[in-house]
Chains A and B, each alone.
Chain A
Amino acid sequence: MIDKYKQGELSEAEMEQLEEALLQKLAEKQAEDKLRQNLRGIAESLRTETNKAEEAKEKPASPRPLKVAHRQLWVAWAAAAAVFLVLLAVWWLMSPANNTNLNAPQMALQYLKQENAPILSNSMADDTLSTAEQAARSAYLEKNYAAAVLFFKKLPPTTASHHFYLGVAALKQENPDFALAETQLLQARSLGQGWQEDAINWHLALLYLGQKNTSKARKELEHIIVVGRDNVTKADLLLKKL
């Protein structure tokens, strides 16, 4: 078929069919390349962990006098236990889900501060980015959200993923720009038509709670539970708080 295509022997409809099949394959190939990169990264990190564990096993014990070693071991264990307890207490106090004294808007702000900004798979792939997109993406990945907002605004955003990243970056700034975040996330929702529904709902819920607009927040949280993906537990918790 490709020979006929090359020689122009195909009808317009047949040519279009072949091109569309190739475009589809190209889209799949680019998604697979991204997946390959992710899986190789995981495999590599597992290998590093295994190597470290093996090295630790093979390392001979340091030749210290027995009594001193015992004493040092006790001190080390006590210090480790103390650090662990302090960390546990900090985690317990800081984690929004464990802090029963916080109300829903306070919890939402803590989630906004503590959660990692989402990096969505299959979007912003390196090989398809323009320079402007690369700048915006780098700022976002480096958690420089103010710069990310500037760069994404300059693009200007056209795709659902651009709008999503701009919306999240606006929310993640030290002083969140709720109005910009809302416009962008709603635009991402409208363009995406179901794309990253859970993540969009979650950030809109946090945004509305940040604005103390509980009715809109409730609607988003309820939607998260209906969709039933990653943020259900947290949404349920916030709903109970409302």
Chain B
Amino acid sequence: MSNQQKNWGLSEAGFKELQDELIGGLESRFQLVFKQNFQRYCNYIRSEMKLSYDDASDVTVEAFIKIHRFIREGRISYGNLDAYSMQAIRNEYLMLLRKRKQLPESDVEVSNLELLDEEYDESTLQQFEQAFGRLGEDCRSLLQQHYFQKMSHRDIGAALNISEDASKTRTKVCRNKLRDIFQSLLNAA
């Protein structure tokens, strides 16, 4: 098996380009890699674990979402992306079993690839998302610009025709509103 075959048909430079694209928010190369390899991985996990097509497809998609993040964060390097993907898919399969309570927690083999590294509590994030959704449109938009799109207060100020300080103050007000809603949701739970 050649080096490129082991790496989704990519050269090392091609992998670097893929990584740069993901960092820059572009998806086309990654989606192409997914498209070219999906069927093979899906068939692999299907026959290996006797999964239905739907489960095999879901497991493969979830594994690729993790792989996407890890490439972006520089946690996967060029070498044997194929073997890495197989491992990621197997881990997602174990996660699926765990979710369905078909596998006791202790039996899940966590690989050294740190693919099961969700450090936050899912329900806390859900409540936080709920709180975020209850904010007014202006606040949601402002916090999205600052925290999601990483816009500086200076740029937000320029876009909204307000000063940099006014943008900071509005963000603080919105953060306080978010905190109030989030705490009330946590206390109600």
Contacts and interface: CB of A to CB of B under 8 A. Distances in A.
B3 to A, nearest CB: 23
Most buried by A among B42, B159, B182: B159
User: Interface size bucket, A side?
Assistant: 35 or more
Interface string A95-135: 00000000000000000000000001110000010100000
Contacts of B120: 21-22, 25
B129 interface: yes
Interface in B120-143: 120-121, 124-125, 128-129, 132, 137, 140-141, 143
18 contacts: A2-B186, A22-B125, A23-B143, A25-B128, A26-B129, A35-B68, A36-B65, A38-B31, A43-B42, A43-B57, A43-B61, A120-B25, A128-B140, A158-B141, A158-B145, A161-B149, A195-B149, A229-B26
B39 interface: yes
B178 interface: yes
A47 interface: yes
Contact of B175 (A19, A40, A161): A19
A28 interface: yes
B105 interface: no
B69 interface: yes
The DSSP consensus for interface residues of chain B is helix
B2 interface: no
Interface of B: 21, 24-28, 31, 34-35, 38-39, 42, 53, 57, 60-62, 64-65, 68-69, 120-121, 124-125, 128-129, 132, 137, 140-141, 143-145, 147-149, 151, 155-156, 158-160, 175, 178-179, 182-183, 186-187
A29 B129 contact: yes
A189 to B, nearest CB: 12
A43 B35 CA distance: 7
A50 B39 contact: yes
The DSSP consensus for interface residues of chain A is helix
Given A6-B187, A159-B149, A193 B155 contact: yes
Contact of A20 (B61, B124, B147): B147
Nearest to A132: B137
Given A30-B148, A120-B25, A121-B25, A46 B38 contact: yes
A191 B137 contact: no
B141 to A, nearest CB: 7
Most buried by B among A22, A36, A160: A22
